Structure 1
Amino acid sequence: MKISYNWLKNYIDLDPIQHSPEVLAEVLPLLGFDIEEYEKLGPPQLNNVVVGQVLEYIQHPDADRLRCCKVSTGNEGEVHDIVCGAKNFKQGDKVMVALPGAVLPGDFKIKASKLRGQPSAGMMCSAKELQIGQDHDGIMILDGDTALGTPLNDLYTDGDTVFDLEITPNRVDVLSHIGVARELAAKFGLDVNYPEVKASTENESHGEPLISSVDVSASEVCPHYTAMCIKGVKVGPSPKWLKDAIEATGQRSINNVVDVTNYVLQETCQPLHAFDAAKIRGGKLVVRMASEGEKMTTLDEVERTLSADMAVIADAERPLVVAGVMGSLDAEVDAGTTDIVLEAAYFSPTSVRATSRKLGLSSDSSYRFERGVDPQGVTYASLRAVDLILEVAGGSVDGNRIEVGTEPPTISEVTLFPDRVRKFIGFEVSDEEIQTVLESLGLAVAIHDADDGSVRWEVTIPSYRQDLQRDVDLIEEFIRVYGTDKIPESEVSARGISTQDHRIYTVNEAVANYLTGQNFNEAFLYSLRDPEETQFFFGEESFKVLALDNPLQSDQSHLRPSLIPGLLDVLKLNAARGTGATRFFERGHVYREVKGQMLELISVGFVIVADQISREWRQREVADFYTARTLAGEVLELAGAAANKLTFQPIEACKLWQPGHSAEAGDFAKMGFMATCGLLNMATLKERWDLTTPVIAGSILMTPKFFERKAKRGRHTGVSNQPASAKDLALIVDQSVLAGDVERQVAKFAKKATQGFDCESVRIFDLYEGTGLPEGKKSLAVSMSFRAADRTLKDKEVNAAFDGIQKLISEKTDFQIRK
């Protein structure tokens, strides 16, 4: 929100020293309004920049976009040849001319030269080039009575300062100059001078009415609508004071009538709209919901397709305004307009917000309506605009104001106890100080005796401050204006609220420490993802369930179901920049659709480029499925799961993971987690991320209930100093049988067959397929290691255990022992 210092002086008496722009730059942030930047307007001392007049011009013979102009500056009939690219001037217009020798802001030196072969001895300037306005679309056009040759610094003696304020969404009242003036008046103890309105809602009619009726069928969207008719206006350029004010706030001056509506919006925060009465077909205005597929070309010259949930203001045949957002080209006020209809209304914030986002169209009006403008400000703003239009464009008001509906109800009073204020802020202030601050903000205080003998205040809330709904809101207002710098110093005492950290936190820290120790870089990414990505990887149901109702950006409209796509974005970025970083992980929350409901999960994801991409004298071992499985297992162990007992099942078909080279284990219902690891889908990597190197990844998803379980504590087992005995066994199994399943079965039998000592490990160390084996079979070689903690094992003991294992294999499984 851009606020002009000169404009503020219309409403409060700002002392040039006590309330200088530099002082305001310090005070406004203390009031809660951060300043993104502030800019001083007004030209520096510029020599050789004077008023000139365009005597004539012709098209440049060698450039379609240039004109060759004859310009007089009143110096004894001297005429200057100037080549200009602007198109917004005509013969006889007064303009600002920089003559050779002038140095414009930015150290831009003007000298005589040739442009595309034509002589040019000077430059006609825009307002922005001279630092006296924001308009850069064309050159400055001055009033016709401005004397030729007048130096710029004689014509523009007063500068201005414009503050670009960052306003929080709840303070819509401060999206106006009067709103900011009220805040400063409260801080400095000044009075607010509200502009007096002279126009009336009741006026005589002259001839045929401009519109016969206003019909509001969408009353839930527009509970209050007003229209006033003005005949005989003369549309033209705005006077200097109006044009300067409009341009100071970063807008472009259009014409005197439109500029007034924009001026009143910036002044009061109430959006207005002026129709050319001659362009309203059927002589009536209708506030209704749009027809599905109805089209309208808005003022930005874009044809927009409307839907049935959008409100419009229409005439008898077509829509003229997207309600609360933007008008159409069909009824805009232009140079040929003589009669206007001035609209002022209150529109539902939720309706305007939804329409604006659905159309992807934002305006100064929608920005205010969607935050909730003052419901009781419609009449004042309308009459204020009528006064200004009559002043700058002439004409007369025709007939009474047309009004449909009434002002929506507002919060009227909030109960406040002064003792609660003191308790809440933590230091002593008097009742008088509290009351003075509240009343300086326009809040009326009525004092009553409470039942318990204390004092109770009933504080009347103005309609423009609907953000004040509770007593704590009033307390915040007091301390904001009273000054946080006046809070006395005191020792801060903070007691811990928990004897130990939650296990989610401790697991997160342990996982981060482990993975960074494994040479991973941690990534911190947004939790919102692209809708097409969500649908592609996780299907239509997830697309529906994970969609935000009101996304701020179209490419961040869905909660993320996985950390992996975001980590792939990081890999792609680092590959493009050649950083050499190939291992990343992230900790965060993800969201999954389960039976039509959204489930929030704690997740850890990691990615590794599986190829050697750096030039080194010694080749390193590349990552593979087992690398990912080991890392995922360690993460689960840190989280308290027995990862060594997991059964990983191969993934057969998936757009994210490579079938046959990736696997998953666990389930949310019984175990509280799911782990997936292995190679990512090579075709998808190439198509979506343009990554041609294999990527190994792991994704661990854990439910919040998983962390409510008692964590399993790791136990240390002493290392035996006794030698181990090893036995090998070859088993013929179906090719569809998983090696991990064979390993677990043998380990289970070994545990049963050993007495007085342990089978400390079972490992598959060889796979054979081919000649000598039946079709559809494979041979797996298993190594078993036996050890006793207190003695050296005898061959007899080991052989007996080995025979027992083979017996159980033969009896309990379909495995064949290969001799």
Structure 2
Amino acid sequence: MKLSLDWLSEYVDLPEPAEELIDVLPMLGIEVEEGDETPSASLDKVVVGKVLEKNQHPEADRLSVCSVEVGEQEPAQIVCGATNFNPGDRVPVALPGAKLPGGFKIKKSKLRGVESEGMMCSAKELELGEDDAGLFILSGEPEIGRKITEVVSKSTTLELEITANRGDCLSHIGVAREVSAYYQTPICLPEVKDSAAPANSARGNSLLSSVEVQSSQCPYYTAWSVKEVKIAPSPDWLIERIESIGLRPINNVVDITNFVLHETGQPLHAFDLKKIAGAAIIVREAKEGEKIITLDDQERALTTKMMVIADAEKPLVVAGIMGSVDAEVDDNTTDIVLESAWFHPGNVRATARSLGLHTDSSKRFSRDVDPEGVEFAARRAIDLIIEITGGSATNEFISIGKPPRTSRTIEIETAYVEDRCGFEVSTENLTASWKRLGFDVEGTSPIRVTVPSYRSEVDRPIDLVEEFLRIRGTSDLQGSKFLSPSLQRDNQPSYDLCDLATDNLTGQGYQEVCNYSLRSANELICWFPELPSDQLALGNPLTADHTHVRPSLLPGLVEVLAHNQRNLTELNRVFEIGRISDPVLGEMQS
């Protein structure tokens, strides 16, 4: 997961310098794989340019010859192969002498006979994002000729490796909780307004005709609607947030759902209402032979074990993973339906693995999102949609089912913690540590700890001990002698005999071998045809060559000698001491 420190600082005060978190987070159980600072310090000769003219290259159909204003000097003539720009757009321009990330140096050159005095750049070429489909069109009207490093804010991004049991940390707010607990500083969560309607309120101006959940893999589903939205590029601050974690801005509504996902950890999906057949939403298992074209333009065959969100005619979303092109929000969208739900982690995980389709949404659903965060994330998104797109919320909030998990209370004694930790702990210290983690704590004997719903992995007393140690740290623990009662017993006579035999044989140049104690049925028939082999057979053998318990060590020793001869190995003096099964006595013998 990518974590923007600038974005993180909206929710919690960070240390100075903020890069100190690179050392702190691993102590909290969050591995930091790498850190990137964008934009690169090597972009000194990359400036803001304004496209004045765009003309067809005389010798190449896919190239344009552009006149670009780059500051006080004369406009530069630049040959470009991108198509996503027009005269008037402001773009990053790498002037001759610039050295781009990766070591690529810009110089004057001729492209198909036309001189080019620089290069207009994409976001990926400057390591300012992942979009390489065209030029990086700068929003607003930044000053022409200004260094790009002064226009695009500088933010450190960390790549985190989140363990499977800590799905709550797959968001900026989730990591903010951990930082707040470690530094004992307050956390500031975004407030939601009353833009959206109460749950299952009157539906006088309903946009949806029906919402139905037919799958047991979705115990909690909510649908919201917003009308009269205006689809447009996102504002600068939202684009900056999206690009800081390596995502490509698409449009304001889609960017908001992505923003809220990385803010709260709750995946959302927005539908274009006009594209929902019958204005009906059905959560169901896919039908036999059903297919869907997902947003990556790939046709995917579904199975009946996969859950989908469908309308009256077709599937619209592979539940918890990715939507289809059939209901995506585009420039013509005016009314939208917003989905926020809790899908069973096992179903999403199995579907993602079967389809080979792993997304930001599936990563979170498969690790269990917070059921009580479903409504909060949707209301947060609707507030932003209304603020940015100019739309208005309807009085339609359909909620089906209920959160499958809420906060839970665990009782624990101080003595239990001390036994597991190996040192004395005060009840006050325990209480303070758990409160730092956002747990509610009452009582002293026993201590009653209420764990919030987003910490699904904390459900036993031993988990509370682990959380105490994690937040307390272990660097200052003092060493002590390990006191254990002395245990001594006499060896069995057979053990002494084996030791003596081993010493004697190895002293004579023999080498000890250790063969499998299980043999094949054919081998036993050849060696011991008179033995009742059925009494030596295993009830559930793993392989065809290991079906019976050995009645003798001899077949294994002969097999070793034969192997050595085939491989021209001189080792021909071997012995083995082991256990065999006596079918007559019905017991193991040494």
Most deviating of 112-121 and 55-64: 55-64
Structure 2 equivalent of residue 415 of structure 1 = 411
Among residues 460, 474, 479, which one is paired with 1:484 in the alignment?
Answer: 474
Q: Supply the AA of the counterpart residue of 2:105.
A: K
The answer to whether the aligner puts 1:396 opposite 2:392 as a matched pair is yes
Structure 1 equivalent of residue 76 of structure 2 = 80
The answer to whether the aligner puts 1:638 opposite 2:570 as a matched pair is no
Q: Partners of 1:484 and 1:402 in 2: how far apart?
A: 48
Question: What CA deviation, in whole Å up to 9, does each residue of 1:368-413 have, x standing for no partner?
Answer: 1111110111000000011112222221112221111111134511
Q: Partners of 1:315 and 1:632 in 2: how far apart?
A: 75
The answer to whether the aligner puts 1:170 opposite 2:108 as a matched pair is no
Q: Partners of 2:298 and 2:541 in 1: how far apart?
A: 39
On the 8 A contact 2:414/2:425 being kept in 1, the answer is no
Question: What CA deviation, in whole Å up to 9, does each residue of 1:607-650 have, x standing for no partner?
Answer: xxxxxxxxxxxxxxxx99773599899899536389xxxxxxxx
On the 8 A contact 2:39/2:149 being kept in 1, the answer is no
Query: What does 1:725-744 align with in structure 2 at a 5 Å threshold?
Result: none
The Cα shift of 1:61 comes to: 4.6
Structure 1 equivalent of residue 50 of structure 2 = 53
The Cα shift of 1:289 comes to: 1.1
TM-score (norm 2): 0.82
The answer to whether the aligner puts 1:66 opposite 2:56 as a matched pair is no
Structure 2 equivalent of residue 216 of structure 1 = 213
- Structure 1 494/55 Cα, relative in aligned 2: closer, same or farther at 3 Å? farther
- Structure 1 133/360 Cα, relative in aligned 2: closer, same or farther at 3 Å? closer
The Cα shift of 1:99 comes to: 1.7
Among residues 184, 190, 193, which one is paired with 2:188 in the alignment?
Answer: 193
Among residues 252, 257, 264, which one is paired with 1:256 in the alignment?
Answer: 252
- Structure 1 154/36 Cα, relative in aligned 2: closer, same or farther at 3 Å? closer
The Cα shift of 1:467 comes to: 0.4
Equivalent position SS for 2:370: coil
Structure 1 equivalent of residue 14 of structure 2 = 14
On the 8 A contact 1:71/1:79 being kept in 2, the answer is yes
The answer to whether the aligner puts 1:309 opposite 2:305 as a matched pair is yes
Query: Which ranges in structure 2 are unaligned for 5 or more consecutive residues?
Result: 511-536, 548-560
The Cα shift of 1:154 comes to: 3.1
Structure with more of its chain in strand, by fraction: 1
On the 8 A contact 2:205/2:395 being kept in 1, the answer is no
Equivalent position SS for 2:369: coil
On the 8 A contact 1:236/1:335 being kept in 2, the answer is yes
Q: Partners of 1:627 and 1:296 in 2: how far apart?
A: 61
The Cα shift of 1:80 comes to: 1.9
Q: Supply the AA of the counterpart residue of 1:491.
A: K
On the 8 A contact 1:135/1:247 being kept in 2, the answer is no
On the 8 A contact 1:411/1:469 being kept in 2, the answer is no
Q: Choose between structure 1 and 2 for higher RCO, CA contacts under 8 A separated by at least 6 residues.
A: 2
Equivalent position SS for 2:122: coil
Structure 2 equivalent of residue 269 of structure 1 = 265
Q: Partners of 2:10 and 2:263 in 1: how far apart?
A: 10
Runs of 4+ in 1 over 6 A off after TM superposition: 203-207, 494-500, 593-597, 599-603, 623-626, 629-636, 668-671
Q: Partners of 1:636 and 1:293 in 2: how far apart?
A: 62
Structure 2 equivalent of residue 439 of structure 1 = 435
Structure 2 equivalent of residue 364 of structure 1 = 360
Identity %: 48
On the 8 A contact 1:342/1:382 being kept in 2, the answer is yes
The answer to whether the aligner puts 1:243 opposite 2:233 as a matched pair is no
Q: Partners of 2:88 and 2:204 in 1: how far apart?
A: 38
On the 8 A contact 1:88/1:138 being kept in 2, the answer is yes
Q: Supply the AA of the counterpart residue of 1:115.
A: L
- Structure 1 86/459 Cα, relative in aligned 2: closer, same or farther at 3 Å? same
Query: Which ranges in structure 1 are unaligned for 5 or more consecutive residues?
Result: 449-454, 519-592, 604-622, 643-667, 672-704, 712-819
Q: Partners of 1:496 and 1:385 in 2: how far apart?
A: 65
The Cα shift of 1:601 comes to: 9.4
- Structure 1 457/208 Cα, relative in aligned 2: closer, same or farther at 3 Å? closer
Equivalent position SS for 1:195: coil
On the 8 A contact 2:221/2:342 being kept in 1, the answer is yes
Among residues 99, 103, 122, which one is paired with 2:99 in the alignment?
Answer: 103
Q: Supply the AA of the counterpart residue of 1:638.
A: E
On the 8 A contact 1:443/1:459 being kept in 2, the answer is yes
- Structure 1 498/636 Cα, relative in aligned 2: closer, same or farther at 3 Å? farther
On the 8 A contact 2:292/2:324 being kept in 1, the answer is yes
Structure 1 equivalent of residue 465 of structure 2 = 475
Equivalent position SS for 1:109: coil
Equivalent position SS for 2:93: strand
Most deviating of 112-121 and 489-498: 489-498
The answer to whether the aligner puts 1:39 opposite 2:36 as a matched pair is yes
- Structure 1 473/410 Cα, relative in aligned 2: closer, same or farther at 3 Å? same
Q: Partners of 2:188 and 2:398 in 1: how far apart?
A: 29
- Structure 1 431/51 Cα, relative in aligned 2: closer, same or farther at 3 Å? same
Structure 1 equivalent of residue 448 of structure 2 = 458
TM-score (norm 1): 0.60
The Cα shift of 1:86 comes to: 2.8
Q: Partners of 1:466 and 1:411 in 2: how far apart?
A: 9
Q: Supply the AA of the counterpart residue of 2:474.
A: T
The Cα shift of 1:206 comes to: 10
Q: Partners of 2:182 and 2:281 in 1: how far apart?
A: 44
Q: Aligned residues, how many? A: 535
Q: Supply the AA of the counterpart residue of 2:576.
A: L
The Cα shift of 1:137 comes to: 3.8
The CA RMSD over aligned residues, in Å, is 3.5
The Cα shift of 1:429 comes to: 2.7
On the 8 A contact 1:98/1:124 being kept in 2, the answer is yes
Structure of greater Rg: 1
On the 8 A contact 1:176/1:265 being kept in 2, the answer is yes
On the 8 A contact 1:133/1:244 being kept in 2, the answer is no
Equivalent position SS for 2:217: coil
